[in-house]
Amino acid sequence: MKVFVHTPELDVGGYPPSSPFNTRRAGMALRTVEQMGTLDGSDRGVVPPVSLSREQLERFHEPRYLDALARASRGEHDLQALRMGLGTPDCPIFPGMLPYVSLAAGGSVVAAGLILAGEAEIAFNPSGGYHHAHPDRASGFCYVNDVVLACMTLAEAGKRVLFLDVDAHHCDGVQDAFYGRSEVMTVSLHESGKTLFPGTGFEEEIGRGEGRGYAVNFPLPVGTYDEAYLRVIDQGALPVIRAFDPDVIVLELGMDSLAGDPLAHLELSNNAYADVVERVRRLGKPILATGGGGYHVENTVRGWALCWSVLCGDQEHHDAMSFGMGGVLLETTEWSGGLRDRTLLTDGGRRGYVDAEIEAMLRRVRSLVFPLHGIDISLP
Ligand SMILES: [Zn+2]
């Protein structure tokens, strides 16, 4: 089964309208895939999330942080909570926040369970992907780390888990959680910490102890475009992923690497996302995909709808289909050309800069990480 995790409950409440993190995107993505017909068929369906219990949350988060989250959810502001990141511009306090984040994060754990039970080979929770949340601290729009909880669920069942993160921001919360462990490998492509929050994810961060070689970071320069990005996937990420040979893949599909995102500075079109997802799908493993960032709402919704169709293996039919549905109304978007972006042109000067930065970065990561997995480091 290919499962889209959502419930209308997630369309009410959610983050305050003043937050750039728009929690309506998941429901909009669902309506878009429904309109596109990519939820039709007996092998596809929508499954509701189940709210995480306190006990489940405590598998990663500290009790005193969860207490603060509960107080904040009742509208109580205090200094202790603020020290744990609650009540900041990025992680505002809003009514019903604990029920909302527990349900949104629960979707990723439900997805992990369906994969473990053999009931889903593809599961997508666009309301998940909170990769910045720490055991004792909210950060970067993230309160509860559903990615860590889903990876833990899979790893505790004996699975080798590959976490691939293509959000524009580094997955600091997830990397920290598994930094000393080898059963969960974290691989992240993100805008360099030199120019973007959270300021981590450099080449030299490769894990420690048993986990050495199982954290892999590809920091990208401002202006990274589709072809350069795919070079990093093909020459950096995929060789390591193949050597690791995971049983299951968790994929964080933050859409803030798209050109035009108001919070980041990468220049991808959603064609690059589609190509990444297709390469991952061809590895032939179950995939648990989550949402994440993405602050241009329409582009994010369209990107997720496109990724869903690629995850489902519809890509071959997709282009033909979008021609036929050229006028499809994607709820709010002005773009009526189907789900795919037009190819973005990158000028020669920008290309030269990005290419040189990426080649140097790739050499560093390959020389640090590849030998630990017995992979030849020479570039093709
Ligand atoms: Zn992000």
Strand, coil or helix: what is 244?
helix
Q: Give residue 50 CA to ligand 1 midpoint distance, Å.
A: 25
pLDDT, one tens digit per residue, over 351-379 is: 999 999 999 999 999 999 999 999 998 76
pLDDT of residue 121: 98
pLDDT of residue 379: 63
pLDDT of residue 320: 46
Q: Give residue 116 CA to ligand 1 midpoint distance, Å.
A: 28
Measured from the Cβ of residue 117, the count of other Cβ atoms closer than 10 Å reads 9
Residue 32 in tokens: 């878009």
Q: Give residue 140 CA to ligand 1 midpoint distance, Å.
A: 8
How many Å apart are CA 353 and CA 340, to the nearest integer? 27
Catalytic machinery residues = 132
pLDDT, one tens digit per residue, over 178-197 is: 999 999 999 999 999 999 99
Q: Give residue 165 CA to ligand 1 midpoint distance, Å.
A: 10
Q: Give residue 89 CA to ligand 1 midpoint distance, Å.
A: 16
What letters, b where the CB count within 10 A reaches 16 and e where it falls short, cover 10-19? bbeebbeeeb
Residue 21 in tokens: 């993190």
Q: Give residue 106 CA to ligand 1 midpoint distance, Å.
A: 20
Instruction: Note whether 331 and 57 are within 8 A (CB).
Output: no
What letters, b where the CB count within 10 A reaches 16 and e where it falls short, cover 39-51? beeeebeebebbb
Burial of 93 (0-12, 13-18, 19+ CB in 10 A): buried
pLDDT of residue 377: 84
What letters, b where the CB count within 10 A reaches 16 and e where it falls short, cover 359-375? eebbbebbebbbeebee
pLDDT under 50: residue ranges of the chain = 320-332
Residue 73 in tokens: 């959810």
> Any alpha helices (H) in 122-213, and if so which ranges?
146-156, 172-177
Q: Give residue 252 CA to ligand 1 midpoint distance, Å.
A: 10
Instruction: Note whether 290 and 253 are within 8 A (CB).
Output: yes
Q: Give residue 167 CA to ligand 1 midpoint distance, Å.
A: 5
State the first-to-last Cα distance of the chain, in angstroms, to the nearest integer.
38
Task: Count the helix, strand and coil residues of the chain and give each as a percent rounded to the nearest 5.
Answer: 40, 10, 45
How many Å apart are CA 130 and CA 29, to the nearest integer? 18
Token pair 């050109």: residue: 259
How many Å apart are CA 1 and CA 16, to the nearest integer? 34
Measured from the Cβ of residue 262, the count of other Cβ atoms closer than 10 Å reads 8
Burial of 204 (0-12, 13-18, 19+ CB in 10 A): exposed
Taken in order 289, 294, 297, 298, the sign of the CA dihedral is negative
For 77, phi then psi, to 5°, come to: -105, 135
pLDDT of residue 291: 98
Q: Give residue 170 CA to ligand 1 midpoint distance, Å.
A: 7
Q: Give residue 256 CA to ligand 1 midpoint distance, Å.
A: 6
pLDDT of residue 380: 63
